[in-house]
Amino acid sequence: MFTYEYPHPAVTVDIVIYTLRDDELKLLLIKRGGKPFKGKWALPGGFIQMDESLEEAARRELEEETGVSGVFLEQLYTYGEPKRDPRERVITVAYYALIPSDRVEIRAASDAEAVGWFAMDELPKLAFDHEEILAMAHERLVAKLDYSTLAFQFMPGEFTLTQLQQVYETILQQEIDKRNFRKWILALECIEETGNEQRDGPHRPAKLYRVKEPGKVEIIK
């Protein structure tokens, strides 16, 4: 038992985990195995431990649910309405993470009935205020595609320009002119040819590229 002179809220970290799969933007939800909202879908997350920072807590949860580490993770917003959790006062610091399409591997977390990837247009009703969190995460994601090199965080080690363009088209939900896209993306000077080619059908092979500084997300305006 832990005793304080003044009341303290609980603090949790929830994560919106995005990846691209089947040419769709998908995010990870867990089916809650315990109260409250038992049986409902929710964002993965959990209480922070007293000896870890907020980001460390987010990375721990991320690895517990997906097995991945070292991916892009950024703080999104902090939610603290008094009644957002029926049990007690809970402050939730939300993060969002982007996982490259070749590193997806779900683990079943201990406190979840089920885990699954959902596309934006097939989301179930969510527990708590998680729909609000999701709306803000998606807004941030779309905005950052425009003014940063965030999209590279979805790419595997080697990729073609067509694949990269599809990432933009999938998330922004609009078609982009191929020539203008290539002009623009190459002018950023963030990617380089690997020298390899991808051949996957009865047509000209595509040059493969890699990101020069994979971890870095730059503001490009």
CB contact set of 204 (below 8 Å; sequence gap of 6+): none
CB contact set of 37 (below 8 Å; sequence gap of 6+): 127, 128
CB contact set of 183 (below 8 Å; sequence gap of 6+): none
**Token pair belonging to 43:** 């964002």
Q: Does 82 interact with a copy of itself (rule: CB under 8 A)?
A: yes
Q: Does 156 interact with DNA (rule: CB under 7 A)?
A: no
d(CA 159, CA 129): 37
Q: Which residues pair with 12 in a beta bridge?
A: 47, 92
**Token pair belonging to 13:** 């970290």
Locus of tokens 């089916």: 31
- Out of 35, 87, 125, 199, the only residue in the binding site for DNA (CB under 7 A) is 199
Torsion of CA 101, 103, 107, 113, to 10 degrees: -10
Question: Per-residue x/- marks for a copy of itself, 182-221, CB under 8 A?
Answer: ----------------------------------------
- Contact status, residue 37 vs residue 127, Cβ threshold 8 Å: yes
- Among the listed ranges 40-48, 130-138, 149-157, 173-181, the one in contact with DNA (CB under 7 A) is 173-181
Out of a copy of itself, DNA, none, what residue 54 binds, judged by CB under 5 to 8 A for its kind, is a copy of itself
Q: Does 2 interact with a copy of itself (rule: CB under 8 A)?
A: yes
Distance in Å, CB of 202 to DNA, minimum:
3
Distance in Å, CB of 85 to a copy of itself, minimum:
12
Q: Which is nearer to DNA, 8 or 212 (CB)?
A: 212
Q: Which residues pair with 15 in a beta bridge?
A: 95
Q: Does 195 interact with DNA (rule: CB under 7 A)?
A: no
30 phi and psi angles, rounded to 5 deg: -120, 145
**Token pair belonging to 25:** 């933007």
Q: Which is nearer to a copy of itself, 82 or 201 (CB)?
A: 82
- Out of 9, 34, 80, 205, the only residue in the binding site for DNA (CB under 7 A) is 205
Q: Does 83 interact with DNA (rule: CB under 7 A)?
A: no
Distance in Å, CB of 68 to a copy of itself, minimum:
22
Q: Does 210 interact with DNA (rule: CB under 7 A)?
A: no
Applying CB under 8 A, the residues found at the interface with a copy of itself are 1-11, 47-48, 50-54, 75, 77-82, 89, 91, 93
